[in-house]
Amino acid sequence: MTPVAARRPLLPVQDQTMARSPAILLKEPAAAVSTPPMQEKPRAAFLTPSRYEPYAGDAYAHVDVIGRGAFGLVTKMRCRADGGLVAMKTVDRSRLHTAYLQKTAHREARTLRRLGAHPHIVALREVIECERSIHIVLELVDGCTVAELCSRAADGRLGTADAATIAAQALAALAHCHAHRVCHRDVKADNLLVDPARLDGSVKLIDFGIAAVWREDGAPLTRADGATAYMAPERVARRPYQGAPVDAWALGVVAATMLTGALPFQGASEAELRDNILGGRSNLGPPGLLSPSCLNFLGKLLAPEPSERVSAAAAAGHPWLQYPS
């Protein structure tokens, strides 16, 4: 990959009021041409209580409001049956004004049901349908996003051992997704949760709102939602693409960001960012920052041609993850 001189630090974490459990963030899917990732997006508009139907059943007791998003309310609830805490997304049906948004509202639940239980994927408890609202009950995840973890670190980057620990768990989550023909399509540092006090075993992949299931015959996907800075070249070029390789590329971007403290592909504008991704103009820090083994690991994930890109399952066996340096 050709180096590019300009570097910017990792963006500040968005929606800090919801940092305790970003697994429950309610967001509107990004448009095919997304906002340049080096600019902080405005917070979603809050909803007034009259715009959604609060949960009124007997199974859960209200504990606290965690946040509000573009589509509804996010609440911490206590399960009356076992006393455990959960996160409840209350989605306002009146905001689902297109067929795509109506599908998106249920996509996360359908995808999580398909994936079943996995230690590194946020768990779905249930979905409760009401006349004006959809209540999606998820596990409540303590900790912070990988983006926030990096922002707390010196120079915005993690140590190689910590980065390898997080990457290995994220790859395990993606390998499970791909074994079930699920493409996440929005893998990024903001969609990986981790407990800073217990990195090993605590990583969770979240936010399956724009995930896709590819067909058994391997027909390519086409939609280009998501953050441009994490998009593989084939998605930036708006070509039909295979699901697994684009997720592998995005995880490579996450890994590079953890190790260097900045996104590897940047640009002063959306057009420049896209040109740099298509031209392979990345920045992985000054010479000597990353070891040859680490660079080899990143190079396999960030291979420009999807046919040459390593799979998540194969990347999980890379020597650098076992012996990070």
| Of the candidates 55, 58, 48, the residue with the CA atom closest to the CA atom of residue 76 | 55
Listed residues 90, 112, 139: the one ending a domain: 139
**26 pLDDT higher than 60:** no
CATH code, domain carrying 281 = 1.10.510.10
- DSSP helix/strand/coil, 21: coil
Instruction: Quote the pLDDT of residue 2.
Output: 52
Calculate the dihedral angle through the C-alpha atoms of 307, 187, 286, 319, rounding to the nearest 10 degrees: -60
Of 83, 114, 139, the position where a domain reaches its end is 139
The verdict on 147 and 248 lying in the same domain is: yes
Same domain, residue pair 188 and 286: yes
pLDDT digits (tens, 9 = 90+) for 163-176: 999 999 999 999 99
Clarify whether 225 is annotated catalytic. Answer: no
Q: From CA 288, how far away is CA 191, in angstroms rounded?
A: 29
Token pair belonging to 306: 């999807």
* Mean pLDDT for the chain overall: 85
Q: What is the pLDDT of residue 154?
A: 86
Give yes or no for a contact between 183 and 243, defined as CB atoms under 8 angstroms apart. yes
The predicted pLDDT at position 316 comes to 97
What is the domain count for the chain? 2
pLDDT score at 171: 98
Q: Residue 47: its pLDDT value, please?
A: 38
Catalytic residue among 162, 186, 190, 225: 186
| Residue 292 confidence (pLDDT) above 70 | yes
According to the model, what pLDDT value does residue 69 have? 66
pLDDT tens, position by position, 294-303:
999 999 999 9
Query: Is 219 in the same domain as 90?
Result: no
Tokens of 14: 């968005």
Mean of pLDDT values over 52-65: 87
* pLDDT score recorded for residue 77: 95
Reported as a single tens digit per residue, the pLDDT across 178-226 is: 999 999 999 999 999 999 999 999 999 998 989 999 999 999 999 988 9
Instruction: Tell me the mean pLDDT in the region 278-282.
Output: 97
Domain with 134 in it: what CATH number? 3.30.200.20
Domain encompassing residue 283: 143-322
Question: Greater confidence, 133 or 71?
Answer: 133
Q: Is the pLDDT of residue 13 over 50?
A: no
The DSSP secondary structure of 273-321, one letter per residue, reads: HHHHHHHTEE---STTSS-HHHHHHHHHHT-SSGGGSPPHHHHTT-HHH
Over residues 224-241, the mean pLDDT reads: 96
